[in-house]
Amino acid sequence: MTQPIVAAQTVKTPVGELGLEASESGLVHVVFGAVHGESNAVTRQAAAEIEQYFAGERRDFTVPLDRSGDGFREQAQAALSDIAYGSTETYSELAARIGNPRAVRAVGSACATNPLPIVVPCHRVLRSDGSLGGYAGGLEMKRELIELERKHTGGG
């Protein structure tokens, strides 16, 4: 179970402001837009890592996460971090990889409700036809994140 939010910090990025909310033990939310509050060690680490990510200096996040829930949604969200930087996977490939190939819509729902976008990279998941699908930050942001990663991996 997620601990109470005790810290909040906003970080400016090339895709807009991101709000970081944390408990004492880890990052709880990344929101699109500013948040207000006092920072803590977790939000400061998350802000630094996000800045490094956008500078092309970081591919994996090490900030501790404070996740809630269990079951399929948590399993799907946890599997997102296994999609390599600069790569994409389809909703159906992700469903198959976590052992439930018929759960494509449930994977889509898990991506749509990901409380930690960018840090837990749901932007790397596409529709089977290669189109972007949806993204809480908007399709233009999803496109920019994919292009940023491809640029820093030599993929275009």
CATH code at position 30: 3.30.160
Please count the structural domains in the chain. 2
Residue 60 falls within a domain, yes or no?
no
Joined tokens for residue 48: 């630094």
Claim to verify: residue 81 and residue 35 sit in the same structural domain: no
Domain span at residue 134 reads: 72-153
pLDDT band at 64 (very low <50, low <70, confident <90, very high): very high
Claim to verify: residue 90 and residue 48 sit in the same structural domain: no
Are 15 and 137 in contact by the 8 Å Cβ rule? The answer is: yes
pLDDT of 101 > 80? The answer is: yes
3-58 pLDDT tens trace: 899 999 999 999 999 999 999 999 999 999 999 999 999 999 999 999 999 999 99
Residue 141 falls within a domain, yes or no?
yes
Catalytic residues: 122
Claim to verify: residue 135 and residue 86 sit in the same structural domain: yes
The confidence score (pLDDT) of residue 66 equals 95
Q: How many CA atoms lie within 13 A of 85 on its CB side?
A: 16
Residue 40 falls within a domain, yes or no?
yes
Residue 67 falls within a domain, yes or no?
no
